[in-house]
Amino acid sequence: MTDEENFDAYKPAKIAILVEGVGVTKAQLPVLQMFVLAILAGAFIGFGGAAYTAVMTGVDPAFGPARFLGGVVFSLGLILVVVGGAELFTGNALMVMAAVDRKISARQLLRSWAIVYLGNLAGAAGLAVAFGFSGILHGPLGDTAVSIVQGKATLDPMEAFVRGALCNALVCLAIWLTFAARTVVGKVLAILWPISGFVLLGLEHSVANMYFFPQGWFAGSDVTVGKAVTNLVWVTLGNVVGGAGGVALAYRYAFLSPAR
């Protein structure tokens, strides 16, 4: 038995190879399959957002332990994406590794990002519509939903951008760590702490916001579509920079660059 087989987790250099290979596979998915998997991911993140909304109902949203618990339940979304299998725009920032090494073209990368982003939007917003008609957004939970989007709408562009960058650094690190794990339990634990951390810190995730804004509208929020779009634009740009630049390119240089 080799040292690699004895080791209970893949080493970082091996993870880099695995992540790059998965990036190639993702880029080659047929359009319809990619879009369906993206819809699922949007809905999965939406379920995490709905659970977060429920947990934060009736508590002080600035209270650290309550926010941490909110992060734990929000982790449901990425657990469903990774273990169940789906295409998430923010996680797919790691595909930049394959693009830089010319294993996929820039066109393939942007095609994948565009299709997955639209699919995530459809899934997240669709789930918000379903919850809107379910009746659970009436009363205290609805008040929490309104409060969540009002806070997001007040962020200025730089705040939204930086929070988006920091958020997706943690999201992509969570996904990176899942490649180290060899069991489902290991993958779940790898997801739990980075995702709980970004929620605790009040960072911004574009796909989550695709759910939160429609949820808030169904609950009676008066946040305008324009403010929601502005938030999504800046958070999305931050997510790309934090995930593709802060994690993917850094690890590519560390483990895959010929100059290392």
Total number of domains in the chain: 1
In a domain, 259, yes or no: no
Cβ contact 68:197 at 8 Å: no
- Environment class of residue 76 by beta-carbon count within 10 Å: exposed (0-12), middle (13-18) or buried (19+)? buried
Span 223-243, pLDDT tens digits: 999 999 999 999 999 999 999
In a domain, 258, yes or no: no
Task: Assess if residue 204 is contained within a domain.
Answer: yes
Question: Which tens digits make up the pLDDT trace of 30-39?
Answer: 999 999 999 9
Q: Is the pLDDT of residue 6 over 80?
A: no
The span from the CA of 69 to the CA of 235, in Å, is 23
Query: 112 CB contacts (<8 Å, ≥6 apart)?
Result: 26, 27, 29, 34, 92, 95
Global pTM value: 0.94
Segment holding 233, helix H or strand E: helix 225-240
Helices (H), 57-156: 64-74, 76-79, 96-100, 106-134, 140-153
pLDDT at 80 over 60: yes
How many residues does this entry show for the chain?
Answer: 260
What value does the mean pLDDT take over residues 123-152?
Answer: 96
The pLDDT of residue 52 is above 80: yes
What percent of the chain has a predicted confidence (pLDDT) above 90? 91
Residue 103 covered by a domain: yes
**Of 4-13, 31-40, 213-222, 228-237, the least confident:** 4-13
> Which residues form the domain of 54?
9-252
- Angle (CA) 47 197 88, round 5°: 45
- CA-CA distance, 254 to 71, in Å (whole number)? 30
Share of the chain above pLDDT 70, in %: 96
Tokens of 137: 């957004």
Question: 157 with 230: CB under 8 angstroms?
Answer: yes
In a domain? residue 2: no
Residue 260 pLDDT:
53
Query: How much is the pLDDT for 9?
Result: 80
pLDDT of residue 3: 47
In a domain, 21, yes or no: yes
Distance CA 155, CA 157 (A): 7
DSSP state of 1: -
Q: Is residue 109 part of a domain?
A: yes
Handedness of CA 178, 173, 229, 200 (dihedral sign): positive
The CATH number that applies at residue 61 is: 1.20.1080.10
* 4 found inside a domain: no
